[in-house]
Chain A
Amino acid sequence: MKIGLPKGLYYYYCQKWLYFFKELNIETIIFDTSKEIIELGNKISNSEMCLSLKIFLGHVYYLQDKCDYVLIPNLKYDYKNQMCSNFSSLYDLANNLLNIKILTFDNNKEIKNFIKIGKELGFSSKKIKKAYKIATIKYNKNLKKLKIENINKLNTSNKKILLVGHSYNIRDKYLSEVIDLLKKYNLEIIYSDLFDDDYYFYLSKDLYWKYSKKNVSSVVYCKEKVDGIVFFTTFPCGLDSLVNELVMRKIDKPYLNLVIDDLDSLAGIETRIESFADIIEQN
């Protein structure tokens, strides 16, 4: 049995599922974002959708005849930890636009989702629970390692930059070509999505988006320790248009606001990054 996971949006928040499927010996099919996938996404999506959603739909389209099931959950938490509104329409969009078999879940409690999907795939609940436990341990171990690595970068003597963005943008293979440009200038890059959401209320009291909280609290935590901040957004991201604007108004560090629409020409972005790197160098 093959399960396809579209590598966009929710994928980066459901890493535990990869360990889970591995434990149950289910083959997962995952592709990196490529030009072809973006074009497919453009074909079926609405022109006003944000680039990240277009990429996601492109992935689903690409997976259409390459696997038995596609996993598209509806992630939701309580009303103080909301997701972007696109996340709740993922399943219905894919279901209406394409002819595919979809595995889906939408429970607040994580374990119930694993049991539901596991049973749909024909496993006994004992086996599912065991796989879930192992997956949780492995996932947590890996996450802890990444977090420590990320925070340790703050202690190096190089010039440091905090990269603020959603996981599905800054971790995407295709979009992060832009981030590779930053690496050229010998800058240590600290990722915002590996922080906890403990400090966000120092900058924004009302914030109710789960993953924006992480970004904002990373800014609070690193404000004094880094030399510059880069905001990385796809066009037209609803959450970032408000949250980033607020953060930018409240910090007094050099910052760069990168809004990616299409990666057809990198020249303009390259120039901006270069001059930003110069500013950091001189400070």
Chain B
Amino acid sequence: MGNYYIPAKYLFNKIVDVEILTAPFITSKTIELGSKYSPDFVCTPFKYTLGTMIEALDNGANVLVQFGGGCRYGYYSELQEQILKDLGYKFELHNLITSGKTNVKRIYKIMKRIDKKFSIIKGLYYLYITKNMVKYMDKIDDYIRRNIGFEVTKNSFLNLNKEMLNSFSKVNNSISLYILYKKYFKKFKKIKINKPKNCLKVGVIGELYTLMEPFSNYYLEKELASFNIEIKRFTNVNYLLFKHQKTINKALNKSKKYMKYQLSADASSNVFWTKYLCEKKYDGIIHIKSSFCTPEIGVMPIIDKVASNYNVPIIYFSFDANTSEVGIKTRLEAFYDMIEMRRK
């Protein structure tokens, strides 16, 4: 998912003594492979992950590690394992999250099986560093998202981001990681931007996988940036792993008018974020999800109501394996024209 393969690879590289193959970047071939062997109306992340797994196995991997919990994600691994076994692959698949909870004892056993020399102290130490790494990455990402549309020299943000991630994966303790983070944050601030004071602002909400894997939303954020729009996105790995329940409690508290019960996955957070974006006077909201995402479909009418109460335009994108990219672009352009006209 996005750049998050770097901290994951870092973690496993440090704690177990085996060769780590990261999943290859997603291409249209991946999706084709995934869709071919998936059930008909499963949500799209299933197809993407299945495609990636097939490619990884073809490259010679024999242990697959997956993180999945909540709504349908938690059940992915069992079916994917069956499908891959039917295809004739020989491998081990480990899902580190069961029934929506992380079971430390189970993870320890799995790690022991992968590498006999695995030590829990070393594991926890590097887990802590990785946790911080993800946190810093998300903070930098947030800054990039707000400013990338206004860079003077093209690709300056992306190049620096690449450089930063490269140096991140070489650190050995959390202090040097922190120093690196500060150093690069300063560098990012030095990048020349040409940002008008009242630029258009758009919030992006929706289902987590489609939001975080840029290929699955056809680089929607890149497209938005080319219109010179400031982008706000809440969903990131830091939120998913450490702030999820806290945000939901806050959401239930702050948007009582629209919501009484906790909805599954990120649905209740999305209602809250919609309200937040409306109150902060954003120019528009973009809601993206993969097709057949049940929690988001169930909450869309509520989000619609919030947005219309505040009179903020909202557009829904539903991504499938064979959505046409041109169609998305056209709709996005029309949406941009509309919010620009509203400004005047």
Contact = CB atoms under 8 A, between A and B. Distances in A.
Interface of A: 45-46, 48-50, 53, 74, 79-80, 84-86, 88-89, 91-93, 95-97, 104, 106, 204-208, 235-239, 241-246, 249-250, 259
Nearest to B86: A249
A107 to B, nearest CB: 12
A92 B258 contact: yes
Contact of B305 (A86, A96, A208): A96
Contacts of B264: 85, 88-89
Interface of B: 39-43, 46, 71-72, 74-79, 82-83, 86, 95, 98-101, 258-265, 267, 291-292, 294-295, 297-302, 305, 318
Contacts of A259: 40-41
Given A89-B263, A235-B41, A84 B294 contact: yes
A93 B41 contact: no
A206 B76 CA distance: 10
A270 B72 CA distance: 32
Given A104-B260, A206-B74, A236-B292, A89 B299 contact: yes
Contacts of A74: 260-261
B206 to A, nearest CB: 13
A66 to B, nearest CB: 22
Nearest to A235: B41
B292 A48 contact: yes
In the A-B complex, list the 6 residue pairs whose CB atoms are closest, starting with the nearest.
A85-B264, A236-B41, A89-B298, A245-B39, A238-B294, A85-B295
B5 to A, nearest CB: 24
B41 A85 contact: no
A241 B38 CA distance: 10
B260 A92 contact: yes
B300 A46 contact: yes
B145 to A, nearest CB: 28
Nearest to A212: B75
A206 B78 contact: yes
B100 A79 contact: yes
Contacts of A96: 258, 301-302, 305
Contacts of B41: 235-237, 241, 259
Contacts of B258: 92, 96
Contacts of B99: 79-80, 206, 208
A237 B98 CA distance: 22
A154 to B, nearest CB: 28
A93 B184 CA distance: 46
B78 A246 contact: yes
Nearest to B98: A206
A246 B76 CA distance: 10
B142 to A, nearest CB: 28
A280 B71 CA distance: 36
A257 B47 CA distance: 21
Contacts of A249: 82-83, 86
A226 B95 CA distance: 34
Contacts of B46: 242
Contacts of B72: 238-239, 242
Contact of B263 (A46, A53, A88, A204): A88
